[in-house]
Amino acid sequence: MIELKDITRIYSLNSQPVHALKNINLKIHKGEFVAIMGTSGSGKSTMMNILGCLDRPTSGVYLLNEIEVQHFDEDELASVRNRQIGFVFQQFNLLSRMSAFDNVMLPLVYAGVPHEARIEKAESYLRLVGLGDRMRHLPTQLSGGEQQRVSIARALVNDPTIVLADEPTGALDSHTSAEIMTLICELHDRGITIILVTHDPEVASYARRVVRLKDGEILSDEKNSSRL
């Protein structure tokens, strides 16, 4: 369902080229759970931005559900994102003046989902992530783990086929991190494709496949035998 063919991404910094990704070839099938690892600066976020249609490659082909999206303009990319991709970030990125419920409801407002259906969906996803009794709390009234659960509910509410998570447990302690990973595994069990960036081998151990980047290239791509 995801295929990167000879993808390069060259940033230009003070008119110097920075080769962040070099001829990346990668296939990820529907329902896979992949961890992307690699040292700082190896190109992980650059790759996630391209996979998530937040950025376009300099060259190469990106097939997302059999459609070439590398030439899509901003509006077309936004529409692909809204329909197919859920994002989870290290710093949760919740709106601080809005309750958990309103944060989860927001993507449904943008998607034009009718009022009643919106309420039902936001509530059901908050219950799914274990926050049925915290819906009216503001982000500041929630723990880090609870905030990340809200952001996961928000990522899921438009029924994406893919969830992209860049260091989703980076701001959490190890116990809370394990809880969030258990939740992410449950999403994988429901058939959602998960692609997750992490520095943490413990977090990567939940994935079924680990892709390692180095200097913008794929260093290794291995099945995680302990999870099969």
Q: How far apart are CA 116 and CA 53, in angstroms?
A: 30
Answer for the pair 183, 152: CB distance below 8 angstroms, yes or no: yes
Should residue 13 be labelled a site residue for ligand ATP when binding is judged by CB under 6 A?
yes
**Direct distance between the N- and C-terminal alpha carbons of the chain, in angstroms, rounded to an integer:** 21
198 binds, among Mg ion, ligand ATP, none (CB under 5 to 8 A by kind): none
Answer for the pair 144, 94: CB distance below 8 angstroms, yes or no: no
Binding mask 40-59 for Mg ion (x = CB under 5 A): -----x--------------
Should residue 151 be labelled a site residue for Mg ion when binding is judged by CB under 5 A?
no
Instruction: Rank residues 20 and 165 by Cβ distance to ligand ATP and give the closer one.
Output: 20
Sign (positive or negative) of CA dihedral 139, 145, 151, 152 = negative
Give residues 25-84 in contact with ligand ATP (rule: CB under 6 A): 38, 40-46
Give the nearest distance from C-beta 55 to Mg ion in angstroms: 13
86 binds, among ligand ATP, Mg ion, none (CB under 5 to 8 A by kind): none
18 binds, among ligand ATP, Mg ion, none (CB under 5 to 8 A by kind): ligand ATP
Tell me which DSSP letter residue 14 carries. Answer: T
137 torsion bin: left (phi>0), alpha (psi -120 to 50), beta (else): beta
Encoding tokens for residue 36?
């992307």
Should residue 11 be labelled a site residue for ligand ATP when binding is judged by CB under 6 A?
yes
Q: Which stretches of 33-125 are assigned E, i.e. beta strand? A: 33-37, 59-64, 67-68, 85-89
Instruction: Rank residues 38 and 57 by Cβ distance to ligand ATP and give the closer one.
Output: 38
43 binds, among Mg ion, ligand ATP, none (CB under 5 to 8 A by kind): ligand ATP
Encoding tokens for residue 168?
């989703």
Q: Which stretch binds ligand ATP (CB under 6 A): 12-20, 56-64, 84-92, 217-225?
A: 12-20
Q: Where on the chain is the footprint of ligand ATP (CB under 6 A)?
A: 11, 13, 18, 20, 38, 40-46
Q: Where on the chain is the footprint of Mg ion (CB under 5 A)?
A: 45
